[in-house]
Structure 1
Amino acid sequence: MRIAVYLPLLLSLLAPLGARPLSERCEPRLATWLLAASSLVLGAASTISLGLLAVTGLIRIPQLAVLGHWSAQTAQHDDPARLSVALVAGLLLGGAAITAARMLWRRARTLAAAALEAACMPARDGLVVVEDDAPDAYALPGLPGRIVVSTGMLHTLDKAEHDILLAHERAHLRAHHYAFVALAQLGAAANPLLRPLATAVNYTIERWADENAATATGDRTRVARTVGKAALATHRAPALARATGAALGILGRRGPLATAGPVPRRVAALLAPPLGRHSLLTAATAAVVTASALATAEAAHDLHRLLETIGAR
């Protein structure tokens, strides 16, 4: 436990360094899976590690040690963690639990509201057109989901670009991209060090949808032009209109309506050949996730043996 319990925390410091390379050099669908899994597993592992460290502090308190028939004096002698470390771990654990619980509650409420709104929207083939001069479009998860497009966006794009937009947004619904975002954000809520991974997932789901649109239409250049055109139109829309539209979808503003930051990267990726499965990055990510899970299991086993030891004396 001396080393294993700290390994997930160390990996949480190192993992975000690979978020940008993974999102830009690896095939988007695989990158999304790897990033979301990394955020979730590392978030859970680091939280468990904090819990294990906190327990080593609790068993030093005589009143609590009696409840488990443990020897507080022996625990102070055999426990490898300092009391100060255990106290800090306990505080961090409390913060992580509260943040993760709040995130889950907000996400559940947002998803329920989105599903209810989608069910109340009359649609044709899952498409809802709203009368609004501000260019806007987003995927609204539900049973079934809806694609909401403003008349302003339809006037901005031509017929071929409409098909690209719809292919992009349908990819969000079909692949349940909101779930990847939620899982990555849950890991980041438990461990703020993992926020770059959650941010990268926001980008890779857009790239995933872009590639689906490119495959459906067979014209990567046209998709790139549509992404840039729609983003530019959205950027020029009044700030209040953009904020109102963003509040409607669980994913925020998705599709080719991302903010200016990632748009040039998406356009450049579409103008280049499709990315493959980067074996080295995939292997490195899998190794980090596996090492974190194994270290957490080893630390939990070590704590179990410690409790058995101090309970036998």
Structure 2
Amino acid sequence: MHLLAYLPLLFPVPAALAARPLAERLEPRLATWLLACGALALSALSCAALGVLAVAGLVRLPPAALLGGWSAQAVRAGDPVSTGEAVVAGLVLAVAAAAGLRMLWCRVRALAAAALEAACLPGPERLVVLDDAAPDAYALPGLPGRIVVSTGMLDALDEPDREAMLAHERAHLACHHYAFVAAAHLAAAVNPLLRPAATAVAFTVERWADECAASACGDRRQVARAVGKAALATAHAPSRRRIPGAVMGLLGRRRDPLASAGPVPRRVAALLTESRANSRPFNVPLLPLAATAAVIGASALCAFAAAHDLHVLLELAGSG
């Protein structure tokens, strides 16, 4: 049980190292699902492993033995987890749970704020144009979601660029990209080793929206030009007012503390190459899928085995 309980705490390391290569090489939609779901699973399993270690220390206490009906002496003799390890594991688990709850609360508040702002925008149309010289464009999730564009951004783009920009924002709403970003950030809050995965998801949702826009417009280079023009237009723009954290924009979540320094050039470069989805429509990348499944499966197996060993120990201590 001792080694098995620690292994799920280490599996996020290879996942973090593989996050950026997966984000760069896989089709964006697949990469987003793989990274977000994998990060959530690994963070949950690391918490489960910490819980096993903490419980292994708790059951050594006389009050717990009295309530559970087992011999505390027998548990101490058969339990390889020291009291110090159990205390540290319990403290780390408490910090992780608090960080996860705080992140979840922040995301729920951000989503509620975005929905309220979307509902309060004037007019019944999904597209809302703000009279503002500062260039900006973003999607507000809500019921219904809204696409907000400033007059400054419209002035910075020509008609084909505007079409590409609007297609990008529509993709953010239609594909619920804010949910993937929130899931990855929740996993990173619980287990900071998964921060690279959260950064990668913030990039892949933008790439996903770029590919949707390219499919809608029929011109990948046009979408690349729109992204580049929008980046140049906002390079020296004044600071914007505070907007909800659930907002997704053409240039990504620029106020995101986990965002990488230069995602826009990577997105433009990817758009100027042939679409992976179009060039290889039936070629499923089995190696990344198998590797991800192996890491998550091994982590789950280790956590389950550690919990099972602890259960067997308590049964033996109770029968003795």
TM-score bin, normalised by smaller chain: over 0.9
Alignment of 1:265-280 (within 5 A): 265-276=266-277, 277-280=284-287
* Inter-partner Cα distance in structure 2 for 1:3 and 1:95: 22
2:303: which partner in 1?
A: 296
Give the match's secondary structure for 1:149.
Answer: strand
Q: State whether structure 2 residue 211 is matched by structure 1 residue 211.
A: yes
State the 1:115 CA deviation: 1.1
1:97: which partner in 2?
A: 97
Q: Which amino acid aligns with 1:45?
A: L
Q: State whether structure 2 residue 312 is matched by structure 1 residue 311.
A: no
1:251: which partner in 2?
A: 246
Verify the 8 A CA contact 2:16 2:194 in the aligned structure 1: yes
Deviates more, 1:282-291 or 1:154-163: 282-291
State the 1:258 CA deviation: 5.7
Verify the 8 A CA contact 1:137 1:257 in the aligned structure 2: no
Verify the 8 A CA contact 1:32 1:204 in the aligned structure 2: yes
1:58: which partner in 2?
A: 58
Verify the 8 A CA contact 1:226 1:256 in the aligned structure 2: no
Alignment of 1:1-313 (within 5 A): 1-123=1-123, 125-238=125-238, 240-241=239-240, 244=241, 247-252=242-247, 254-257=249-252, 261-276=262-277, 277-313=284-320
Distance 1:198 1:180, change over 3 A: same
Q: Which amino acid aligns with 1:250?
A: G
Q: Deviations over 1:119-167 (max 9, x none)?
A: 1223454111111111111111111111111111111111111111110
Give the match's secondary structure for 2:135.
Answer: coil
Q: Deviations over 1:79-106 (max 9, x none)?
A: 1222222111111001001100111111
State the 1:19 CA deviation: 0.3
Q: Tell me, which stretches of 5 or more residues in structure 1 are unaligned? A: none
Verify the 8 A CA contact 1:121 1:128 in the aligned structure 2: yes
Deviates more, 1:196-205 or 1:67-76: 67-76
Q: Deviations over 1:271-303 (max 9, x none)?
A: 011125433222211221222222222222222
* Inter-partner Cα distance in structure 1 for 2:105 and 2:162: 35
Verify the 8 A CA contact 2:135 2:156 in the aligned structure 1: yes
Give the match's secondary structure for 2:251.
Answer: helix
Q: Which amino acid aligns with 1:282?
A: L
- Normalising to structure 2: TM-score of the pair? 0.92
Q: Which amino acid aligns with 1:262?
A: P
* Inter-partner Cα distance in structure 2 for 1:123 and 1:165: 21
Q: Which amino acid aligns with 2:85?
A: V
State the 1:257 CA deviation: 5.0
* Inter-partner Cα distance in structure 2 for 1:187 and 1:312: 40
* Inter-partner Cα distance in structure 1 for 2:48 and 2:114: 32
Distance 1:252 1:235, change over 3 A: farther
* Inter-partner Cα distance in structure 2 for 1:190 and 1:257: 23
Distance 1:281 1:74, change over 3 A: same
Give the match's secondary structure for 1:256.
Answer: coil
* Inter-partner Cα distance in structure 1 for 2:124 and 2:170: 13
- Normalising to structure 1: TM-score of the pair? 0.94
* Inter-partner Cα distance in structure 2 for 1:298 and 1:119: 49
Verify the 8 A CA contact 1:231 1:258 in the aligned structure 2: no
What is the count of residue pairs matched by the alignment? 308
* Inter-partner Cα distance in structure 2 for 1:228 and 1:124: 31
Identity %: 60
RMSD: 1.6
Q: Which amino acid aligns with 2:37?
A: A
* Inter-partner Cα distance in structure 2 for 1:222 and 1:232: 15
Verify the 8 A CA contact 1:50 1:90 in the aligned structure 2: yes
Distance 1:115 1:258, change over 3 A: closer
State the 1:231 CA deviation: 1.2
Q: Tell me, which stretches of 5 or more residues in structure 2 are unaligned? A: 255-260, 278-283
